[in-house]
């Protein structure tokens, strides 16, 4: 059986590492990217070097039409997906709530929440036994900010990720008897390009392990949740945060 995985935001950070580690675990990978085609091609090349098929698709996860096209393209060129990793997300704008711009806030929620839900919708339509599918796994990317709050700069980000946690549990229950598992991984501070300049160096000494996490450490958890070893794990939010 061929296992096909869609990784949104698969050309950078945690999504890129997830694409590579999933390929090593035997998945063919469809990588979506918003703007950096060269990076997506680089990751696709590494997936192919691991002996798996790769496909890159430009898609803005804030656009419903792009999301539908992403899934249709994957289905046409690789096959029906049996896994989805909702990794695409943004941290900007960094702002106190009393200074936040409404247009930027709307885009933030479209990408971090609405887009993730719509991607899950398209996955369920293809994976659910209710719709003739063979089952599958959805892994959402949350954040420890969902519980820590993000006061001072990212309360809205924390709110979007808290909604992802609730969505993960609710959807897991909704499709539990349709062959689909739904989980989330909640990273702490991870050294990726999503971080504002200087934050990694500044915050590391304040963390319990005195260091930030690496994208591969999060990707390991994601790929485990995708695997048959996690066959009775659903509705779970797994912290990968170094005790934070």
Render pLDDT for 171-189 as a digit per residue (tens, 0 to 9).
Answer: 999 999 999 999 999 999 9
Decide if 84 contacts 119 (C-beta within 8 A).
Answer: yes
Indicate if the pLDDT at residue 196 is higher than 80. yes
pTM comes to: 0.97
Q: What is the DSSP string of 132-192?
A: T---EEEEEE--THHHH--TTT-HHHHHHHHHHHHHHHHHHHHTGGGTEEEEEEEE-SB-S
The whole-number pLDDT of residue 194 equals: 83
CA distance 15 to 88: 7
3-state DSSP helix/strand/coil % of the chain, to nearest 5: 50, 15, 35
Q: Domains (ranges, CATH) in the chain?
A: 3-240 (3.40.50.720)
Cα(27)–Cα(196) distance, rounded to whole angstroms?
32
| DSSP 3-state of 96 | coil
Is the four-CA dihedral 121, 57, 10, 201 of positive or negative sign? negative
pLDDT at 210: 98
Dig out the tokens for 113 from the structure.
């929440």
Q: Round to whole Å and give the CA distance between 241 and 189.
A: 7
pLDDT, position 197: 86
**In this prediction, what percent of the chain has a pLDDT beyond 70?**
100
Express each pLDDT in 74-130 by its tens digit: 999 999 999 999 999 999 999 999 999 999 999 999 999 999 999 999 999 999 999
> Which of the 8 DSSP states describes residue 25?
T
Instruction: For residues 187 and 184, give the distance between their C-alpha atoms in angstroms, rounded to a whole number.
Output: 10
* Catalytic-role residue among 3, 71, 157, 167: 157
Average pLDDT of the chain is: 97
What pLDDT does residue 139 have? 99
User: Does residue 69 surpass a pLDDT of 90?
Assistant: yes
- 33 assigned to active site: no
Tally Cβ neighbours within 10 Å of residue 47: 27
The helix (H) or strand (E) run that includes residue 15 is: helix 13-24
């Amino acid at each position: 059986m061929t296992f096909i995985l869609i990784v949104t935001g698969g050309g950078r950070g945690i999504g890129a590492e997830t694409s590579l580690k999933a390929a090593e675990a035997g998945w063919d990978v469809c990588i979506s990217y918003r703007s950096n085609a060269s990076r997506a091609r680089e990751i696709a090349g590494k997936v192919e070097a691991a002996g798996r098929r790769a496909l890159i698709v430009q898609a803005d996860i804030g656009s419903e039409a792009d999301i539908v096209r992403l899934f249709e393209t994957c289905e046409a060129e690789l096959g029906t997906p049996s896994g989805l990793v909702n990794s695409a997300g943004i941290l900007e704008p960094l702002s106190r709530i009393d200074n936040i711009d409404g247009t930027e806030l709307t885009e933030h929620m479209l990408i971090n929440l609405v887009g993730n839900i719509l991607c899950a919708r398209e996955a369920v339509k293809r994976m659910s036994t209710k719709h003739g599918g063979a089952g599958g796994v959805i892994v959402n990317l949350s954040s420890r900010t969902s519980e820590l709050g993000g006061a001072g700069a990212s309360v809205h980000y924390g709110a979007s990720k808290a909604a992802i946690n609730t969505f993960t549990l609710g959807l897991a229950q909704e499709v539990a008897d349709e062959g689909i598992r739904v989980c989330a991984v909640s990273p702490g501070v991870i050294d990726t390009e999503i971080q504002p300049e200087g934050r990694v160096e500044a915050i590391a000494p304040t963390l319990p392990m005195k260091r930030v996490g690496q994208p591969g450490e999060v990707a390991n958890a994601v790929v485990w949740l995708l695997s048959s070893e996690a066959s009775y794990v659903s509705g779970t939010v797994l912290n990968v945060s170094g005790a934070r």
